[in-house]
A and B are shown apart, each in its own frame.
Chain A
Amino acid sequence: MTEETAELKIFFDSPKVFEIQNIKPLMGLTGLYFIFNDKTRIQYPFKTSRLLYIGMSEKKTNSIGSRLTEHFEGKSKNWGLINYGKVNQLYFTYINFEMLRKFWSNRVEDLESYFILDFVEKYGVYPICNNKSGYEILDKKLKANFIINWPYFE
């Protein structure tokens, strides 16, 4: 894609309760996933949002299903998610990478970076449970012109 690429507005699919029954069917899928609170909003620098975590799966063997299962079972040791899960009903939604493949010629990792950086732009900081300070997200302006429906999480 070039700078002239037309805007593509990205909506999120309806929220699913963060429980194993909803996670299992996502085995074998690659793409991005978003974990968020039921009601509790996080006060980010620019705006509040229920979004806690943006994650990705780049391989079918370590699919969205497996990654979410690790979070659900606490194996990912993401204490933020674990503790939010203790006091809140958590939800998740996901974007199947295949849907965007035609519009995104790079890797899933880059797509995740794109989404995270876009969130940083709008909210001032990474999602609270991403614990991310490394992996500098680069090149956003070169690759796409996604308009992400962040208000979905507000």
Chain B
Amino acid sequence: MTKIKSINISGIRGIKDPLPLNLDNKSILIFGENGSGKSSLTDAIEWYYSDGVEHLISKETGATKGRGSLRNLFIPDNEDAFVNIHYSNNKLNATKSIDGSLRTSVSNTTDNFKEYLLATQSENLILRYRDLVEFIIATPGEKIEKLQNIIGFSAVADVRGLLKKSAGRIARNIKSANFDNQKNAQHTVVLDNLGQNAYTDDQLFAGANLLIKPLHIGKDIKSHKDIKDVLKTIEAKGDTALLEQISFYTKVGENLTEIFGNIDNIHSSYKTYHTIYTELRKDPENIQKLQLLALLKEGQSVLKNDVVQDDYCPLCLQEKSKIELIKELEERIRELETLEQKKDKLKEQGQKLKDTLRVNVNTIDGLLKEKLFKEEQQATLLEKVQQIRTSLNVFTDELKKELIAKDSIHEPSKIQINKKEISELAKQAQDTAKELTESKGSNTKFQIYTKLFQTVTAYNQYQSIKRQQEILTKQQITFQVLFADFIKRQEEALNVFLKTFSTNIDEYYTAMNPNEKIKDIKLVPIKDKNDDLVGITIEYSFFDETKTPPIAYLSESHINCLGLSFFLASVKAFNKQNELFILDDVISSFDRPHRTRFAKLLTDKFGEYQILLLTHDQGFFELVASDVKNKGWLIQNFTWSKENGVGIEKGTTDIKERILKKFEDKNTNGLGNDIRVYTEKIMKEIANNIDAQVAFRYNEINEKRMAPELLDAVHSRISKKGSELKDKANIQRLKGIPMFIGNVTSHDNEFNESIADLAAIWEDIEKTILIFYCDECGKSISIKYFDNVENKIRCGCGKLTYDWKQ
């Protein structure tokens, strides 16, 4: 498994000059104010691995996958921007550069590195705050798509789709060909001529032998060749024209019988089509709205890709929670997709009917090619057959009508094909063929020849249709069996995966939200009425009732927890190549207990991973820092200045060191606040040591009193205990410092003092603190070290002492 030894970034996003990070395969906690370059680091790594930066892709930058915004604005065009990464496996070390014309190049061209990059594509390396809930609010279909992409199931899903489509296409062909009907038409001819039907050669030969018996030609038919021989023997050359006529009428009879057999199918198929069509047309507005579907999906993608950064609607510009907006869009998209499914059903039904009509039109067209139709005496028959074709075309024309056309399609009863007429026409043709055959009443040879010829033609035709049907049916069965087997295996594999994945999600979520009424979080496959897998939903037990989806009941903070749990579970499940991941400002909406538990989760469950944890939250930074500083993590600060761009400095959790560094840098940013926090911390310690008590108050009042009341308590205590300490430590002076006054709304009040003002304040505070702390042992005076004999309070070593009344 791969970890990162060092990263060096130059000229990417906010990072102008080279920014080296020496990680030495260790995790790192990075603190940086907003705009200090944390996201530049994340963007650079994302570009390095995926060749683009997702959140930079918009309509304007789409063509370059966000690369247009990648290079730092202030680096010269002839200078390359780059990301250089050294790995635990040094064969993978590489530098990826992007020049002034946005051409990229990678220094490592080995197969090793290519394979590594390819494998990394399917891993989850980076989680940003804005991506947290993406999976949770995705539709069931998108969820399965995302998971399939990650777990390499997308190819499997493609094959499944192909199998299903192929089986469906063949089934449609079989249905529209109506093989049984075609076979029947041929059987009827055989029955009529031979006085029996024939499914097998033996049955045919037995019937044929009976038929030729009166001719006494001394030949027993045992094969198809024998039949040909007999036909040749009894053929009467002079009767060709008559035979042609008989064949013609027989064919007309057969074909019309075949079409007759399909008419019910056409009528019922059109009726179904008409019902769906009419149903959809009831609400034309809805159909119009369908045209919005693409637009809504585009809107959804705009919001998800963070093209709009803040919580407002990009169209009406009103303030609106982005998550809410995405949720609303999803609901509308879902509604329209249901409508689209109905429209697809109509299309599918239309296609079925079209296929059936095509088969019949082809039959008629084939028949119309018969040369006898050119003869004048067939004009009436020709007209009637053409009329059938016209009536079939009426259906085809109806299918071409748009759903939102002004006039609806015809009622099924209005465009019925005249079944009776076709049946009569077929019977007439068959009777004519029979009459013609019998016209040579006395000529038994002629009659037998005609009957045998018609029989053999029909039998062969029947066998050919049967073969076609068998081939297609076999193909259909094969696809069905493959499909069923495929689904079974796919489901088994997916279920195993989902179970493990769900267990991890549940574990991480519960670790962050213990003792809550949300339990048993799991991913559950959704199937449609055909038992096909169509999506995945998130299910959980809420007050012992099964609920889905999460967004309906959970707060934003809980959904974020769930998002984090998904990401972390996916790291465990999918990151096989890299033992590392990046978390960029993911805890913004968490309160203190959630942050604490999240930090613990990271250190407890992901200790073996290299984590790049970036935050702009001072409190979270300190919290995690205190937890990880003994676990080998690196701790660093990102700073940004106009002169130097993004810079790194050793991160410190020691607030005094931070204050001194800020004085050194003349950096007033947050310095007043740091001094206040430091003073409070020390005063709490002193108050504790000299037993200066602060009355109990509820937290909201506590917030208002921290520094002033601690100072008051200390002042009051030392005033009672001895004038020596009271005179030396001028607490009243500290209480007058503006940053300690009116600190009502927040700990993070802004102070506008100059660096000189702050230096003066700091000096006062340091002097006061020094009165309580021994410069020898470093410890504060404490009643623990109270000297009963001298009545003095003192430090740990006894060097610093003050009078203290009993």
Residues on A facing B (Cβ under 8 Å): 6-14, 21, 25-26, 28-29, 60, 96, 98-103
Known contacts A21-B477, A98-B184: does B191 contact A8 (CB below 8 Å)?
Answer: yes
Which residues of the partner chain B approach A25 to less than 8 Å between Cβ atoms? 174, 473
Among residues of A, the one whose C-beta sits closest to the C-beta of B477 is A21
User: Is there a chain A Cβ closer than 8 Å to B180's Cβ?
Assistant: yes
**Cβ < 8 Å to A, chain B residues 156-183:** 174, 180-181, 183
Complex alpha-carbon distance, A99 and B195, angstroms: 13
Q: Does B264 contact A (CB under 8 A)?
A: yes
CB contact between A11 and one of B174, B181, B196, B264 (< 8 Å): that residue: B196
- Contact (Cβ within 8 A) B198 A11: yes
Please, which residues of chain B bring their CB within 8 A of the CB of A99? 184, 187-188, 191, 197
Pairs across A and B, CB under 8 Å, 18 listed: A7-B195, A8-B195, A9-B197, A9-B207, A11-B198, A11-B199, A11-B203, A13-B199, A28-B265, A96-B180, A96-B183, A96-B187, A98-B188, A99-B184, A101-B188, A102-B188, A102-B191, A102-B427
- Which A residues lie within 8 Å of B180 (CB)? 26, 29, 96, 98
Main secondary structure of the interface of A (DSSP, over half): mixed
Residues of B within 8 A of A102 (CB): 188, 191-192, 427, 430
Residue-wise interface mask of B (183-221) relative to A, using a CB-CB cutoff of 8 A (1 in contact, 0 not) = 110011001100111111001000100000000000000
| Per-residue A-contact encoding for B347-371, CB less than 8 Å = 1, 0 else | 0000000000000000000000000
State whether the Cβ of B261 lies closer than 8 Å to any Cβ in chain A. Answer: yes
Q: How far is the CA of A60 from the CA of B199 in the complex (A)?
A: 24
Chain A residue nearest to B194 in the complex (CB):
A9
Across-interface contacts of B183 in A (CB, < 8 A): 96
B244 to chain A, nearest CB (A): 23
Smallest CB gap from B253: residue in A: A102
B196 touches A60 (CB 8 A): no
**Complex Cα spacing A14 to B198, Å:** 11
Residues of A near B199 (CB, < 8 A) are: 11-14
Give a binary string over B611-648; 1 marks a CB under 8 Å from any A CB, 0 the rest.
00000000000000000000000000000000000000
Partner of A6, one of B195, B203, B207: B195
Interface of chain B, main secondary structure = helix
CB proximity of A93 to chain B, nearest CB, Å: 10
User: Which residues of the partner chain B approach A7 to less than 8 Å between Cβ atoms?
Assistant: 195
Cα–Cα distance between A137 and B247 once the two chains are bound (Å): 40
Inter-chain contact B181/A98, CB cutoff 8 Å? yes
In the assembled complex, the CB of A82 is this many whole angstroms from the nearest CB of chain B, namely: 25
Which residues of the partner chain A approach B203 to less than 8 Å between Cβ atoms?
Answer: 11
A-side contacts of B261, CB under 8 Å: 98
Q: Give Cα distance in the complex from A101 to B187, angstroms.
A: 11
Residues of chain A with a CB closer than 8 A to B187's CB: 96, 99
How far apart are the CA atoms of A13 and B430 in the complex, in Å?
25
Chain B residues whose CB sits within 8 angstroms of the CB of A12 once the complex forms: 199
Query: In the complex, what's the smallest C-beta–C-beta distance from B474 to chain A, in angstroms?
Result: 11
Contacts of B188 in A (CB 8 A): 98-99, 101-102
Q: Which 3 A-B pairs have the closest CB atoms?
A: A9-B196, A98-B184, A99-B187
Residues of A within 8 A of B195 (CB): 6-9
Among residues 244 to 287 in chain B, which have CB atoms less than 8 Å away from a CB atom of chain A?
Answer: 261, 264-265, 268
- With both chains docked as a complex, state the minimum distance between the C-beta of B9 and any C-beta of chain A, in angstroms: 63
Which residues of chain A are near B174, meaning CB under 8 Å?
Answer: 25
CA distance A96 to B174 in the complex (A): 17
CB distance from A54 to the nearest CB of B (A): 18
